[in-house]
């Protein structure tokens, strides 16, 4: 069984929450914590400094977020935005993606970051040239605009399946557990990128996507497994595909 981070464990042990779903989020690099509850926030009792918001408030348009620090940068993460659950895991993914990108991104080269979330890869691997981040989540794209401020970054809120593909030197794709699928793989191929770095969170999806990318003109060069969730069946795989 995975141990909880002390910041979360403190909330579990000492917090008081209403009935219903409760989401606890924390940034180990900053110490900031955010609690999201289904019920009324006036029944919540948590340590001082913890931000509390209800699902109803979020649905009405209230914004709430916390910050974390990793890979040498500070990241804003909104209540409804995805972010890796472990700082060391996120840093391991950044290192693996950077290694897979290697020398394929020339100075000033264009990086496309598909399913880019709050900008983790665009803001680390893509800092030295223009980057296009594509993400369907409204909260994540709002965070990405903050996290990538000062970079040559274009942020597109769109479903990758319906994105108007642009030329790229390198594509990084971090799709959901279902994988790219045929439409998104076609968008990747339409960029004519010399290299594609695929981050897969399900081995079966990786197998399907590898077949699609191979049929689209790419060869699988390397795959690196990263065990973000020890003692579970879940693994992340960072794979490099080179255009034939």
Tokens linked to 3: 């141990």
Q: What three-state secondary structure class fits 212?
A: helix
Q: Using the structure block, give the residue that is written with the tokens 């800092």.
A: 127
- φ, ψ (nearest 5 deg) of residue 86: -125, 135
| 32 is a catalytic site residue | no
Tokens linked to 51: 């931000």
Candidates 97, 201, 228, 237; catalytic one: 201
**Alpha carbon separation from 145 to 29, 98, 160, 200, 230 (Å, rounded):** 21, 21, 18, 25, 33
- φ, ψ (nearest 5 deg) of residue 180: -65, -55
17/87 Cα distance (integer angstroms): 26
Tokens linked to 98: 């950077």
**CB-CB contact of 60 with 100 (8 Å):** no
**CB-CB contact of 194 with 147 (8 Å):** no
* Residue 119 backbone class (left: φ over 0; alpha: ψ -120 to 50; beta: rest): left
Q: Which residues are catalytic?
A: 201
């Amino acid at each position: 069984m995975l141990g909880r981070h002390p910041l979360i464990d403190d909330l579990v042990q000492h917090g008081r929450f209403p009935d219903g779903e409760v989401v606890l989020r924390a940034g180990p690099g900053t110490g900031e914590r955010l609690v999201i509850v289904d019920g009324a926030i006036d029944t919540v009792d948590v340590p001082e400094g913890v931000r509390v918001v209800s699902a109803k408030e979020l649905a009405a348009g209230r914004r709430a977020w916390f910050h974390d620090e990793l890979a040498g940068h500070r990241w804003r993460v909104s209540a409804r935005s995805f972010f890796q659950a472990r700082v060391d895991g996120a840093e391991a993914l950044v290192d693996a993606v950077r290694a897979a990108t290697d020398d394929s991104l020339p100075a000033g080269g264009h990086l496309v970051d598909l399913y880019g979330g709050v900008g983790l890869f665009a803001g680390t691997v893509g800092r030295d040239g223009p980057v296009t981040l594509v993400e369907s989540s409204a909260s994540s794209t709002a965070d990405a605009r903050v996290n990538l401020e000062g970079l040559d970054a274009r942020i597109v809120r769109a479903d990758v399946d319906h994105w108007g593909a642009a030329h790229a030197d390198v594509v990084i794709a971090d799709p959901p557990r279902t994988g790219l699928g045929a439409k998104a793989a076609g968008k990747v191929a339409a960029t004519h990128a010399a290299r594609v770095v695929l981050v897969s969170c399900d081995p079966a999806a990786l197998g399907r996507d590898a077949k699609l990318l191979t049929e689209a003109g790419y060869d699988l060069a390397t795959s690196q497994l990263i065990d973000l969730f020890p003692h579970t069946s879940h693994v992340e795989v960072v794979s490099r595909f080179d255009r034939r």
